[in-house]
Amino acid sequence: MLYTKLDAAEFCAKYIADGRSATDDLVTSTLDEAQMILINEGDWKNLIQKIVIKVNNNSFSLPRNVETVLKVYHADDYHLSPSRVWSMGYELLDGGPGPIGGANDHEWVDLIDLGDGWPIMFPIGGTKRVLVAFSTHEDDQNQTMLIRGRDDKHMDISPATPGEDLTIRQWKGGNEGRIAADSVKPSINEFIEIDFIQKPVTKGYVSLFAYQPSDHAMWFLGKYHPKETQPSFRRYKLTGRSCVTTEDSITLLVKLRHVPLIDDTDVLVIQNLPALRLMCQSIHIRNMGDTADALAKQGDAMRMLDQQLKSSHPENTEFDVTMSTSFGDLPTAYSEGY
């Protein structure tokens, strides 16, 4: 059974503050806070998932509900084994590989973390361009989304405003991917970088593109969930790949992130109602100023989650070595009795 926002609200409401109804906004905000805290404290049940994605060129962004990549398996004609996930500092290591950008500067196809907090899935590139946005639903037409970014001199766009309100249009006839050129409403300003996007709640998915009015060429930048209002994505770069149109399938082991609870049927990331109840109590106690008791309640919640994790994962003999050498590289002296 998968527990939802409504299940948690009904289970926890009377333990939040002085006792609230399940429909109270404070109940939802407390459940959101409880999940945000507990997600960061461990890899609990259902937090680790396996996903398979198609990658074009040499970079990709994770879905909005995914925090980070833990492990990766890349399969093509030359690489049929697990690859490595490197940190943001990998290219800056003393004696390391240096800047990586092409297909010939790294032997294996690994992942390099490009960081979190990107409001668009892919960069605009080295040329400043105007922007356009399209929705899959007609009711979203003429709503606006705030775009904050910089021009080709890396100066803020309209710093006094700040940013620009970009008008959302509908795909032609409601068919995603089709536009009527005479109805396109591009941004007034040309952007080379985007730092922040504030999008309204919409009825359809909204896609953002860089646009070239002279020939209506478009470059995909991001696609946003109807309930997504301040998008943020984590990006990764594939080593050993040039920026050419090549499509590969890679398998990722990932950890999920918190997405705000909105609808009653939203599935909880933390699938343990007693642990959530304790965490809600902990939040209330902390707000009242008793940090020690709050941490004790949080510790109880984490112990419940730890026990749930142990109960849901049978004992196994898996053994992983995440280091530059393997057992075959141990000195021969060990086999000689030293």
Same domain, 140 and 212: yes
Specify if 158 maps to a domain.
Answer: yes
Same domain, 154 and 218: yes
Residues 143 and 175: beta-carbon distance below 8 Å = no
- Of 139-148, 156-165, 240-249, which range is least confident? 240-249
Same domain, 273 and 252: no
pLDDT digits (tens, 9 = 90+) for 261-305: 999 999 999 999 999 999 999 999 999 999 999 999 999 999 999
Q: Would strands 111-113 and 130-135 be described as parallel, antiparallel, or unpaired?
A: unpaired
Same domain, 56 and 96: yes
Same domain, 88 and 41: no
Q: What's the CA gap between 2 and 299, in Å, rounded?
A: 24
pLDDT category at 76 given cuts 50, 70, 90 is: low
Specify if 297 maps to a domain.
Answer: yes
* pLDDT score of 78 more than 80: no
Specify if 264 maps to a domain.
Answer: no
Contacts of 120 (CB under 8 A, 6+ apart): 194, 197, 208, 221, 222, 231, 233
Q: Would strands 164-170 and 193-198 be described as parallel, antiparallel, or unpaired?
A: unpaired
Q: What's the CA gap between 98 and 89, in Å, rounded?
A: 10
Specify if 315 maps to a domain.
Answer: no
Same domain, 239 and 281: no
107 is written with which tokens? 């032997």
Same domain, 106 and 245: yes
Residue 117 CB burial class (10 angstroms; 0-12, 13-18, ≥19): exposed
How many separate domains does the chain show?
3
Same domain, 214 and 138: yes
Element (H, E) at 279: helix 273-287
Specify if 22 maps to a domain.
Answer: yes
Same domain, 74 and 113: yes
Q: What's the CA gap between 83 and 112, in Å, rounded?
A: 11
61 is written with which tokens? 């962004």
pLDDT digits (tens, 9 = 90+) for 207-242: 999 999 999 899 999 999 999 999 999 999 888 765
Same domain, 211 and 138: yes
Residues 157 and 124: beta-carbon distance below 8 Å = no
For the segment 70-95, the average pLDDT, to the nearest whole number, is 76
Same domain, 37 and 112: no
Same domain, 213 and 196: yes
Domain holding 26, by residue range, is: 5-45+269-301
Q: What's the CA gap between 289 and 295, in Å, rounded?
A: 11
- Of 71-85, 115-129, 165-179, which range is least confident? 71-85
Q: What's the CA gap between 199 and 179, in Å, rounded?
A: 21
Element (H, E) at 35: helix 25-39
CA 236 to chain centre: 11
Specify if 321 maps to a domain.
Answer: no
Q: What's the CA gap between 30 and 280, in Å, rounded?
A: 6
